[in-house]
Chain A
Amino acid sequence: MLSQARRWILSPLLTLLAASFVLYTAVWLQPGNPLTLILGTRASPAQYRYMANKLGLDRPMPVRYWDWLVAAVHGNFGTSLVYKQSVASLIGPRILTTLLLIAYASVIILVVGVALGILGGMSPRLAPVIAGLNGLGVAIPGFVAAEMLTALFAVRLGWFPVLGTGQGLAGRLQHLTLPAFALAIASISYVSQITRAAVSAEEQSPHVDTARGRGLSGPRILRRHVLRNAAMPIMTVSALTVASLLAGTLVVEYAFGLGGIGSLLDQSVSDKDSNVVLAIGLILVLVFVITTTALDVLQYLMDPRLRLKGATKWH
């Protein structure tokens, strides 16, 4: 248990450190001088040198990275080169929008995806219909889903707004409904497909036959013998799908005019605004690290076989 705990803490920290270095180097290697965004193209070389010195951009990369790292450890992620604001103040308002969008989409994915998967797994008649829907859902790219949903539900029917984040929780939820569905469609199909396969496999397993033979009721078999055993793959896929949503919000945020961190990341990469890129990049890594570690812990606790072996099975 002690070695597991060490692994759950040390491994994420090392991952974050390595990711920060890779990200910093990648931004540094990216061609272009970001000072153009501040000074325009008419500024003199002396003006460029003055600003580079003022902003510390003329120092060697390892020195800049080390300074960034020391400040980051103390909770200071620096200032945006382009927006001249602290990175925290830029990301703060945006991350709420993104997190709410992801939470909303996650609920949709888990509820609809798992429900469709169970239906498909339990009912041979519905299985092909659900498999067809899954195929369709996976094939629709996020931006196409966004445009279709907007054209129908916002422009034609007027049920939802086309863009913006809205005010208050109710307003935000109304504004985020179409984006959440646009973000969720492909993942619903994926989760549904995995759930259907896992449930179907358990349905045909000997212990379920035994349970049927013992005369247990359908819902009880489903709850205690099918879902409990199918939970591992469903949980793993659901968790990784939800974690990956953060990286996938970019398209949906653009399409619905939502100022989230996906669109900010895109813009900052384009602007070579390294402090912002790093902060958002590390948030993405952190979400993955936390999700996979939490999954690891959960599996460790849920599956006695893992405790006996002292290792995880699913990844």
Chain B
Amino acid sequence: MNGQPAKGPHRRHAAAAAFAAVTALAAACSAPSHAAPAASAVSQTVTSYGVARGNLATLTWDLPYGEPNTIDPPNTAFYNSSLIAANLCDPLLRLNPNYSIGPNLATYQQPSPLTLIFNIRPGVKFWDGSPVTSADVVWSLQHSASPSTAVSFLYSNVKSITATGPLQVTVKFTRPDSLFLFEMSSFSGMVQEKRFAQRAGSKLGTAAGKIMCSGPYELTSWTPGTGMTLTANPHYWNPADRAHAHTIQIQFDTDSTSIAQALISGQLDGAYEIPPAVIPRLRTARSGKLIFGAPTQLYLTLSVARPTGVLASLDVRKALWMTINRQALASAAYSGAATPNYTQMNVDSWKNASWPAAAQKIWSAAYAGFERQERSWGTPAAISAAKTLAAKAGYHGQPIVLATLAGDATLAEVAGLIQGWAQEAGLNVQIKPLQPLAYDNASYSAQYRTGLDLLLGVTFNVAPNPLEPMGLTYTPGDPYNYTNYSNPKVTADINAALATSNLVEQARLLSNAQSIYEPASWSQTLLQFDEIMFLKNGLGGATASFAYLNEPSLAIIGKAAN
């Protein structure tokens, strides 16, 4: 992914790019225990919050990114639509707490690196009572692979998808793809009823066409511009993820102030993706808890936008990075809901339970080296050194155009801070806010990056694995390789990592690649974010980490223990 999306009120586009560009592992972040202790303070990050002991009549939930464009799963490449799809539809597989892949709607076998067999759980029914069959699974996967979806690229190594029995589906590959299995635990591996989908045609996933799935909730109404109603599926097959609220009322409010006021007044029961701007206001709310969730795969990036221009000089771009005070950014712009990050890969992409200890050791040792080098950046001494470095490189005040998202107050604040620090070192950063569509386009097309030197944005991985962003950034022709970076050793290591499922070997290969591309300094991941959510008093069982996007996270919220 790594598509420079931004987060914030009124912002829908950005992460669509990102999410679409990813494999599908969000739950990998943490597979939260539903019995975690309640957090006592917002300064602590938690994986889940409270315990769901009882049922609710209604849960009223807001989507701060607004009304989804669609809920057709392979096109739910965004926070708002993905959350809804995850509560309506079942993916084939599920990520376990230890990040191994486990069964969900199907079990799987991998007889060879080029063959994957799914055996569908018998007896599972769609909301209309029809059984889930191999024909539905084949249709759903082929639908995901079709060129009209946002996740089509994830199927680029797939040769065929065929029904090899009434409850068996076989996927064959043209070359090994170690991330594909993870994709089957997300929206790209969700199963819909074939007959319903074909009848809906182009209206599938819209308010008019809806969808037919087998998840814990059924979509019973969707009034454009107003809201959605989800009703509990009484025949849901999986008791662990059963619906606790009989009805969920989904609101589409995107205004940060009114979201905060509705949470404070108790009109809303909760929301994920709370805009950072209202953190101070919600910290003191008596109606519920502001919760910082971790791990996440959300991070702030500042990337060089083109191979030419003033930042083609390594010394000039390094001088710019040296002026940035990451801790100050985390405190000032994100009210502490973020942590400084010192490599282009966000720390949580490898510091999570999906990696065995031996692999984490490799990652950790590599990270420590970069952290040592960069921790002092942003101090007066570093800014002074940056000034000298830029002058030596022949920099004499040429403008450095930093593009950010128009209308995003938090990113504007970040851009302003960066501009101020750069100025202290004599670097002339000019901020250029781009309209949402132009901003999204700039993240994938060189044509739209003309005249820009830097892109600032928030982005996220779905897979908790550096292979995902690396595989989209550091090999020639990658969509996020803005500077035409090309190193044969890096390319070979990344391709070898994609072909192996041995995670220690993967870590070794990828950290080798990291040791080569990192000093080239084409991009900086400045901060890693916490997931920011709010939950009304009396509710519990919520997933607080970014895993909420990959599991029926609204279904598991219930009345809290006394």
Contact = CB atoms under 8 A, between A and B. Distances in A.
Interface of A: 30-34, 36-44, 46-47, 50-51, 54, 82-86, 89-90, 92-94, 97, 146-147, 150-151, 154-155, 158, 161-165, 254-260, 263-264, 267, 270-272
B401 to A, nearest CB: 16
B437 A163 contact: no
Contacts of B547: none
Contacts of B1: 42
Interface stretch (B95-103, B256-264, B305-313, B328-336): B256-264
Contact of A163 (B69, B253, B264, B479): B253
B257 A147 contact: yes
B237 interface: no
Interface residues of B, number: 63
Contact of B479 (A38, A42, A83, A264): A42
A131 B114 CA distance: 80
B443 interface: yes
Contacts of B41: none
Contacts of B135: none
A172 to B, nearest CB: 11
Contacts of B465: none
B206 interface: yes
A158 B261 CA distance: 11
Nearest to B436: A270
Contact of A97 (B16, B62, B225): B225
B117 to A, nearest CB: 27
Contacts of B322: none
Interface string B256-277: 0111011011011000000000
B109 interface: no
Contacts of B261: 147, 150-151, 154-155, 162
Contact of A259 (B70, B203, B224, B480): B224
Contact of A85 (B203, B227, B254, B435): B203
B441 A263 contact: no
Interface in B305-327: none
Given A43-B152, A93-B226, A146-B258, 13 more contacts: A31-B441, A37-B13, A37-B16, A38-B69, A40-B150, A41-B443, A54-B148, A90-B225, A150-B258, A150-B261, A162-B261, A256-B255, A257-B259
> Dominant SS at the B interface?
loop
Interface string B4-16: 0000001011001
A279 to B, nearest CB: 13
A234 to B, nearest CB: 34
A93 B225 CA distance: 7
Contacts of B440: 32, 36-37, 41
Interface of B: 1, 3, 10, 12-13, 16-21, 62, 66-67, 69-70, 75, 77, 147-153, 202-203, 205-208, 223-227, 251-255, 257-259, 261-262, 264-265, 267-268, 435-438, 440-441, 443-445, 448, 472, 479-480
A163 B202 CA distance: 32
Contacts of A43: 20, 147, 150, 152-153
Contacts of B259: 163, 257
20 contacts: A31-B441, A36-B437, A37-B440, A41-B440, A42-B21, A42-B444, A47-B152, A47-B153, A85-B203, A86-B208, A89-B224, A92-B224, A94-B224, A94-B225, A162-B258, A163-B262, A164-B227, A256-B258, A263-B225, A264-B225
Given A40-B19, A42-B472, A263-B225, A272 B252 contact: no
A90 B69 CA distance: 11
Given A54-B148, A257-B258, A85 B437 contact: no
B303 to A, nearest CB: 13
Residue of B148, B206, B226 with highest tally of chain A CB at under 10 A:
B226
Contact of B20 (A39, A163, A165, A258): A39
Nearest to A270: B436
A37 B253 contact: no
B144 to A, nearest CB: 13
B375 to A, nearest CB: 32
